[in-house]
A and B are shown apart, each in its own frame.
Chain A
């Protein structure tokens, strides 16, 4: 069985105290567990349910609703490329195709070395630097294939 680290448990305890209702901490607790495990599977849902005195289904319906929760193992880094309007106007389609070819994966897939998972996402709120992608929470904008090459090279 996977464990949640004592540091994470400590964070969760502080967090839960903010809210008059324990369940309110659910989205934040899921973020913390995902930071540790990389994804939330059924076991993760059950653990979180236990911590917050919820039924596992109450956790499952939340995990399956919000797009930022990963439900199966992902690569070391998640590349989230925006496919919404401004990014499309600025050439996102070509960049998504470029990334698919470069990484030899489909959208949603993980490279064979386990380094990168490629996802497409809706507007990231960074349209001033479109086309844009996010890797591990960091924004990269005004993308071109060359720029993508050097960004991925540095992330290794």
Chain B
């Protein structure tokens, strides 16, 4: 099995990284025309690894080639989607993979300044990354005249300060400008009006970390690792009730069941599986009979869920679904930025209902009310946070209705009682 990212884990210092063939991709990219680099990335079927799955090459091609204003790269290391911890591993285990990817992206789009927006809670990893960036400057891989060309690139690390919504690309840009993380109305899209109203590319850490291999081995090679419209491999962050939680890199299209039972060791204490959240807490939950499904963007969408960030949260039979509902709704209520009424009002309302269900004060009709609120939020806000809050609620209410109704009726948890 060909892997793209994890074989580089542990090659933290630039010497080790170079010895293993590191920075060859960036060197090769700089010997190609920028348009050729973009073409190669398009051929690779690389799609944004932050969660939205937008084709990376296409995203780049929206940025005007000629621009009188500077262009920027914002590297999204906010990693706030609950269950997600993959970008942290890239930063601490192979920071140069990210730096090399940033060089390739910047060359392709014509960018000379990049900011890594890293979540504030990752402060110690921000320091590691700064150290790696310093090493790259010393080697002449960053700064002026990279690899002896006339291309220059500066990379700065910028810490966030605790706000989930800043993972959304326009909120990230606002935050980087020193403001509250209120998402912007799109269009205009960042590609034409982003940071300081200049053309901007926002790419996730894992997305960029795939680029060196794509340039070295070719876009077609990368595409062939995955399935039709989802090229390459993907980092899956598995957590919850499994025997071996952690990071697993697997080809796109690998079965979710294989990931859980063969790689993550199956369910702890050999209990029965109750459900799997396949792509971070926003993605609709799958029941045990639904998990024999290929892990790629289109297959999960067809099943009514999302590949998202690849954060797989596994729930065993001891899990109280009212509690899951409460934790998820409380989170989105906490993180709503408050700009749009449906989200500002809807998320705390859902949290209030979930809270009363879990504590035995649920009312007949609460589940219908929850679904009704969720449906009235979707598609009616500036950013996708409202949808992210609504989708899991609808799925849980529909798929675990019997248990939740019993919880309301009996005023106690039917799972813990058993």
B70 surroundings in chain A (CB, below 8 A) = 20
From A65, A90, A129, residue with most partner B Cβ within 10 Å: A65
In the docked arrangement, what's the CA distance between A65 and B337, Å? 8
Q: Which of A20, A62, A84, A128 contacts B82 (CB 8 A)?
A: A84
User: What 1/0 mask marks residues of chain A from 18 to 55 whose CB sits below 8 Å from any chain B CB?
Assistant: 10110111111011000000000000000000001010
Does the CB pair A85–B156 fall under 8 Å?
Answer: no
Does the CB pair B240–A125 fall under 8 Å?
Answer: no
Known A86-B83, A125-B79, A126-B85; further 10 A-B contacts with Cβ < 8 A: A20-B196, A26-B179, A27-B160, A61-B180, A65-B181, A65-B337, A66-B160, A85-B240, A89-B319, A122-B164
**B245: interface (CB < 8 Å):** yes
Chain B interface (Cβ < 8 Å from any Cβ of A): 70, 79-85, 88, 119-124, 156, 158-164, 175-181, 196, 237-241, 245-247, 277, 281, 311, 313, 315, 319, 323-324, 327-328, 331, 334-335, 337
In the docked arrangement, what's the CA distance between A23 and B84, Å? 30
**A5: interface (CB < 8 Å):** no
In the docked arrangement, what's the CA distance between A75 and B161, Å? 19
Q: Which of B180, B241, B331, B337 contacts A84 (CB 8 A)?
A: B331
**A4: interface (CB < 8 Å):** no
**A103: interface (CB < 8 Å):** no
The number of residue pairs between A and B whose CB atoms lie closer than 8 Å in the complex comes to 138
Q: Which 6 A-B pairs have the closest CB atoms?
A: A26-B178, A66-B161, A127-B239, A67-B162, A68-B162, A23-B178
A20 surroundings in chain B (CB, below 8 A) = 70, 196
Does the CB pair A69–B240 fall under 8 Å?
Answer: no
Does the CB pair A66–B163 fall under 8 Å?
Answer: yes
In the docked arrangement, what's the CA distance between A119 and B246, Å? 26
User: What 1/0 mask marks residues of chain A from 108 to 139 whose CB sits below 8 Å from any chain B CB?
Assistant: 00000000000001111111111000100110
With both chains docked as a complex, state the minimum distance between the C-beta of A86 and any C-beta of chain B, in angstroms: 4
Nearest residue (CB) in A for B277 is: A85
Nearest residue (CB) in A for B326 is: A88
Does the CB pair B241–A89 fall under 8 Å?
Answer: yes
Q: Which of B177, B178, B245 contacts A127 (CB 8 A)?
A: B245
CB-CB under 8 A for A128 and B247, given A27-B159, A68-B120, A89-B241: yes
Does the CB pair A86–B178 fall under 8 Å?
Answer: no
In the docked arrangement, what's the CA distance between A134 and B175, Å? 23
Does the CB pair A138–B124 fall under 8 Å?
Answer: yes
22 residue pairs of the A-B complex, CB under 8 angstroms, read A20-B70, A23-B177, A25-B178, A26-B178, A26-B179, A27-B161, A31-B161, A65-B337, A66-B161, A66-B163, A66-B181, A68-B120, A85-B82, A85-B83, A85-B324, A86-B313, A89-B241, A123-B83, A125-B80, A128-B239, A130-B245, A137-B124
A66 surroundings in chain B (CB, below 8 A) = 120, 160-163, 181
CB-CB under 8 A for A127 and B85, given A27-B159, A27-B175, A88-B327: yes
B315 surroundings in chain A (CB, below 8 A) = 89
Does the CB pair A127–B83 fall under 8 Å?
Answer: yes
In the docked arrangement, what's the CA distance between A152 and B241, Å? 27
Nearest residue (CB) in B for A24 is: B178
B311 surroundings in chain A (CB, below 8 A) = 127
With both chains docked as a complex, state the minimum distance between the C-beta of B17 and any C-beta of chain A, in angstroms: 23
In the docked arrangement, what's the CA distance between A65 and B247, Å? 32
Q: Which of A31, A65, A86 contacts B180 (CB 8 A)?
A: A65
A59-81 CB contacts (< 8 Å) to partner B = 61-62, 65-69, 80
A80 surroundings in chain B (CB, below 8 A) = 121
A18 surroundings in chain B (CB, below 8 A) = 156
In the docked arrangement, what's the CA distance between A62 and B171, Å? 13
Does the CB pair A27–B178 fall under 8 Å?
Answer: yes
A23 surroundings in chain B (CB, below 8 A) = 177-179
In the docked arrangement, what's the CA distance between A20 and B154, Å? 13
With both chains docked as a complex, state the minimum distance between the C-beta of B204 and any C-beta of chain A, in angstroms: 14
Nearest residue (CB) in A for B175 is: A27
Does the CB pair B88–A125 fall under 8 Å?
Answer: yes
In the docked arrangement, what's the CA distance between A26 and B327, Å? 32
CB-CB under 8 A for A130 and B239, given A24-B176, A122-B82, A125-B84: yes
B79 surroundings in chain A (CB, below 8 A) = 125
B121 surroundings in chain A (CB, below 8 A) = 68, 80, 121, 124-125, 134
Does the CB pair B245–A62 fall under 8 Å?
Answer: no
Does the CB pair A86–B239 fall under 8 Å?
Answer: yes
In the docked arrangement, what's the CA distance between A137 and B79, Å? 16
B241 surroundings in chain A (CB, below 8 A) = 89
In the docked arrangement, what's the CA distance between A134 and B161, Å? 15
In the docked arrangement, what's the CA distance between A20 and B239, Å? 41
Does the CB pair B180–A62 fall under 8 Å?
Answer: yes
A128 surroundings in chain B (CB, below 8 A) = 85, 237-239, 245-247
CB-CB under 8 A for A125 and B120, given A85-B82, A85-B328: no
